[in-house]
Chains A and B, each alone.
Chain A
Amino acid sequence: DIQMTQSPSSVSASVGDRVTITCRASQGISSWLAWYQQKPGKAPKVLIYGASSLQSGVPSRFSGSGSGTDFTLTISSLQPEDFATYYCQQANSFPRTFGQGTKVEIK
């Protein structure tokens, strides 16, 4: 199975800050990576797929990069509605696996 490791587990940031979350796969997954945002009590929502493609309707302050084993989700200017938990997920092979999540909290 491919293990997905996110860092940090949590980050405290202020509105307007640039936030970067990393995700490392235990083996190469090319660009078969998606990022999801989840708010409390809600279903996850896809932000990025194919490592760097922005899902329709997602604000352009979200961006993804990387390929192989190392990936990054960047929020260029944090907005109040961005405080949530973020997950990476590999779609290279079964079983699909998620990272453990990164909680973005208000500083």
Chain B
Amino acid sequence: EVQLVESGGGLVQPGGSLRLSCAASGFTFSSYEMNWVRQAPGKGLEWVSYISSGGGSIYYADSVKGRFTISRDNAKSSLYLQMNSLRAEDTAVYYCARELGYYDHFDYWGQGTLVTVSS
């Protein structure tokens, strides 16, 4: 059974940092592209970042470029999001999502981890 489990969320002050993790199981993690998607309270879905299966190709939303860094450790079947210079508008539930190569849709999602940026 495919499972994605996020962790690392919490309360952080503006300007602070946080590192999210996504532990994958039930599939060959190194064969799949991965993404982070977030959802602010009461709002819609916003794509955050993408990383290719080998880590050689990375993309970011303009809203996080230069502040967030996506990475992966295929040996540990884990995906990461390092978030620096956090702002109030980064407050959201962060989901990791597996991308299936056929039409690049997100076929499995984690349960999400809440990040709250507030003083």
Contacts and interface: CB of A to CB of B under 8 A. Distances in A.
Interface of A: 1, 31-32, 34, 36, 38, 43-46, 49-50, 53, 55, 87, 89, 91, 94-101
Nearest to A44: B109
B103 A89 contact: no
A31 B44 CA distance: 22
Contact of A32 (B35, B60, B103, B109): B103
Interface in B101-116: 102-107, 109-112
Given A94-B50, A95-B62, A98-B47, A46 B95 contact: no
Which 7 pairs, one residue from A and one from B, show the smallest C-beta to C-beta distance? Answer: A49-B105, A91-B104, A43-B109, A50-B103, A96-B47, A34-B105, A94-B59
A98 B56 CA distance: 25
**Chain B at the A interface: SS class:** strand
B44 A98 contact: yes
Given A87-B44, A95-B62, A98-B46, 19 more contacts: A34-B103, A34-B106, A38-B45, A43-B109, A43-B111, A43-B112, A44-B37, A44-B95, A44-B109, A46-B106, A49-B102, A50-B103, A53-B103, A89-B47, A89-B106, A91-B104, A95-B60, A96-B50, A101-B45
A65 B115 CA distance: 36
B11 interface: no
Contacts of B111: 43
